[in-house]
């Protein structure tokens, strides 16, 4: 009887329910898609600005975005649905976030002048030490000096700034990435320390630890074999030019670029160790999360390692939650959070792309690979490590071939040989570094030496293939 009194109520409710049911079977409903669309629109806004990375958005473009936003408000009001407004707003915020990351070059005084800034990063230069310094104006410059500087300290110096010169081999994206790191360079003179680092700034301490670790690894694994192990552990990239060219031809450069796959290997090994001690899976998850945080600290809180650790931690969280739709939302949300911190990551940071693709591969392919690799023994997490390694490589190999070298038969062969050895190289390399030159160090470092030499051998074979 109540249905007969209002016959229109029945079809309306039925259509909504059928729509919800259909949405559940065929995909997400609009209300559930909206967060994905908003986050994607923000990334799209950053991507649009990335086509002109060194140029601020003209006023006319802001007027157009404002009109589009106003139009979206009108459409949303008419449809009584705020989705168009929120999507356009997210797009505009993405463009705005990238735009405010650009320094005002008119405020940077070129030529000879006295300057003050904070030491941000050290790199190995051809002519003395080189440091990235952030000036009071917010600009970042690269200075050369023979003095030893402490990361985080404030310095005053004199120099004649000159702009970056684009080389013939630099692509547009490559030059834009270099410009983002330093808008100018100079040789510093009359350098003086103005203030020590803040009490909470531990970058120099971790930088010293990394230098000590490099020396310790080199003491038992000399030459490029030791640098390769250090590169897979925490991103050391000081191999000789000959070895770098060889790895590039073989499509193996990604091995020494710390990404989500490297972090996941560390997390997988730690997770297996914690489970082996008798902890529940939920307890092992939190202990592994703490171990990842400690690992990032030991690598000096490098931006690339921190980003890779964050993406790798998402894989652990996804497994911990066990909800598939939540996994993709967390991955997209992580990309937005990282791009809010540094919008240049999206198109000008290969490590970001590798971490993102590796995490995606782990979410997509790990269950399938685990079933396919059922013949691999599960002892000490070996099967899980092999499955995660192949899953990450399946997604990162095409991008690595595009960014670091050419796609060839050599790249397919060398990755099939080298990638499964990465977990063992990291495990044996850590053991060799911890043991150092104590009694019997030759025996302890022998497995790491054998694995690294096998990877180098596979890289050399690349010259045989086209």
With a cut of 50, say whether residue 13 has pLDDT above it: no
Task: Say whether both 45 and 148 belong to one domain.
Answer: no
Q: Which of 153, 169, 195 is the last residue of a domain?
A: 195
* Beta-bridge partners for 185: 142, 162
Check pLDDT > 70 for residue 300: no
Position with higher pLDDT, 297 vs 88: 88
Torsion of CA 306, 310, 316, 321, to 10 degrees: 160
Pairing of strands 111-124, 184-187: unpaired
Q: H/E element holding 143?
A: strand 140-145
Residue 138 in any domain: the answer is: yes
- Residue 96 within a domain: yes
Residue 160: CB atoms within 10 Å: 12
Q: How far is residue 442's CA from residue 86's CA, in Å, rounded to a whole number?
A: 62
Of 298 and 256, the structure prediction assigns the larger pLDDT to 256
**432 and 289 assigned to the same domain:** yes
DSSP H stretches of helix in 342-421: 345-348, 350-372, 382-404, 409-418
Alpha-carbon span 251 to 405, nearest angstrom: 6
* 275 and 159 inside one domain: no
DSSP of 109-140: --EEEEEEEEEEEEEE-SSSEEEEEEETTS-E
Helical (H) or strand (E) element with 54: none
Structural domain that includes position 156: 105-195
Same domain, 315 and 398: yes
- Based on the fold, state whether residues 146 and 245 are members of the same structural domain: no
Q: Is the model's pLDDT at 16 over the cut of 60?
A: no
| Domain shared by 81 and 185, yes or no | no
| pLDDT recorded at residue 98 | 93
Whether residue 296 lies inside any domain: the answer is: yes
Which of the 8 DSSP states describes residue 341? H
- Length in residues, the chain: 466
Does residue 18 fall inside a structural domain?
Answer: no
Question: Confidence band (pLDDT; 50, 70, 90) for 46?
Answer: very high
Q: 195, 226, 246: which is the final residue of a domain?
A: 195
- Answer whether 316's CB lies under 8 Å from 287's CB: no
Beta-carbon neighbour count of residue 414 at 10 Å? Answer: 25
- Whether 20 is covered by a domain: the verdict is no
Which pLDDT value is given to residue 378?
67
On whether residue 9 sits in a domain, the answer given is no
pLDDT in tens, 375-431: 776 665 566 667 776 777 777 767 766 665 455 556 666 777 787 788 788 888 888
User: Which residues face 162 on adjacent strands?
Assistant: 185
Domain count along the chain: 3
d(CA 220, CA 217): 6
Distance CA 55, CA 182 (A): 15
- CA pseudo-torsion sign 195, 120, 258, 334: positive
Cα 408–chain centre separation: 25
Residue at a domain's end among 172, 195, 218? 195
Do 272 and 178 lie in a common domain? no
Going by C-beta distance under 8 Å and a sequence separation of 6 or more, which residues neighbour residue 124?
130, 238
The pLDDT of 297-304, averaged and rounded, is 66
Work out whether the CA dihedral 161, 182, 178, 249 comes out positive or negative.
Answer: positive
The answer on 275 and 149 residing in a single domain is no
Q: Which of residues 162 and 12 earns the better pLDDT score?
A: 162
Tens digits of per-residue pLDDT, 143-200?
Answer: 988 888 888 899 999 999 988 888 776 777 778 888 888 999 998 989 999 998 888 7
CATH number at 134 reads 2.40.50.140
Q: Where are the beta strands (DSSP E) in 151-277?
A: 154-163, 184-187, 189-195
Is the distance from CB of 358 to CB of 311 less than 8 angstroms? yes
Under 8 Å between Cβ of 164 and 206 = no
User: Does residue 261 belong to any structural domain of this protein?
Assistant: yes
Instruction: Please state the rounded mean pLDDT for residues 76-91.
Output: 78
Out of 32-41, 185-194, 313-322, least confident range = 313-322
Residues 233, 184 share a domain: no
HSE, side-chain direction, 13 A CA sphere, residue 112:
2
Predicted confidence (pLDDT) at residue 126 exceeds the cutoff of 50: no
Q: Are 330 and 416 found together in one domain? A: yes
Together in a domain, 229 and 109: no
Same domain for 76 and 116? no
CA–CA distance, 417 with 361 (Å, rounded to integer):
19
């Amino acid at each position: 009887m109540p249905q007969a009194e209002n016959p229109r109520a029945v079809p309306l409710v039925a259509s909504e329910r059928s729509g919800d049911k259909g949405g559940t079977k065929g995909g997400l409903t609009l209300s559930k898609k909206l967060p994905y669309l908003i986050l994607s629109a923000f990334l799209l806004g950053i991507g649009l600005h990335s086509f002109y990375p060194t140029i601020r958005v003209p006023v006319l473009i802001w007027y157009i975005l404002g009109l589009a936003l106003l139009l979206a408000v009108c459409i949303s009001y008419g449809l009584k649905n705020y989705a168009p407004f929120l999507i356009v707003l997210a797009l505009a915020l993405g463009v705005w976030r990238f735009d405010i990351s650009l320094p005002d070059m008119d405020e940077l005084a070129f030529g000879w002048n006295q300057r003050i800034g904070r030491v941000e990063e050290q790199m190995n230069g051809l002519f003395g030490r080189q440091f990235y310094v952030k000036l009071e104006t917010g600009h970042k410059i690269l200075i050369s000096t023979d003095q030893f500087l402490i990361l985080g300290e404030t310095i005053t110096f004199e120099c004649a700034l000159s702009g970056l010169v684009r080389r013939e081999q630099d692509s547009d994206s490559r030059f834009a990435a270099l410009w983002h790191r330093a808008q100018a360079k100079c040789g510093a003179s009359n350098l003086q320390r103005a203030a020590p680092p803040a009490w909470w700034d531990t970058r120099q301490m971790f930088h010293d630890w990394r230098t000590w670790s490099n020396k310790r690894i080199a003491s038992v694994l000399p030459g490029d074999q030791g640098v390769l192990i250090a590169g897979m552990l925490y991103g050391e990239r000081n191999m000789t030019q000959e070895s770098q060219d060889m790895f590039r031809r073989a499509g193996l450069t990604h091995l020494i670029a710390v990404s989500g796959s490297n972090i996941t290997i560390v997390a997988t090994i730690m997770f297996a160790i914690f489970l082996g001690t008798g902890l529940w899976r939920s307890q092992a998850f939190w202990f592994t999360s703490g171990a990842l945080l400690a690992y990032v600290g030991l690598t000096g809180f490098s931006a690339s390692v921190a980003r890779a650790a964050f993406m790798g931690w998402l894989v652990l969280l996804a497994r911990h939650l066990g909800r598939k739709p939540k996994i993709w939302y967390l991955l997209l949300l992580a990309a937005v959070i990282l791009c809010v911190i540094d919008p240049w990551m999206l198109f000008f940071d290969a490590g970001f792309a590798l971490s993102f693709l590796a995490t995606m591969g782990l979410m997509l392919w790990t269950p399938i690979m685990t079933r396919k690799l059922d013949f691999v023994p599960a002892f000490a997490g070996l099967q899980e490590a092999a499955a995660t390694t192949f899953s990450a490589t399946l997604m990162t190999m095409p991008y690595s071939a595009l960014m670091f070298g050419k796609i060839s038969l050599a790249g397919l062969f060398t990755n099939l040989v080298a990638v499964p050895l990465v977990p063992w190289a990291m495990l044996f390399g850590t053991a060799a570094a911890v043991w150092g030159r104590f009694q019997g160090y030759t025996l302890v470092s022998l497995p790491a030496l054998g694995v690294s030499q096998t990877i180098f051998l596979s890289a050399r074979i690349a010259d045989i293939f086209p």
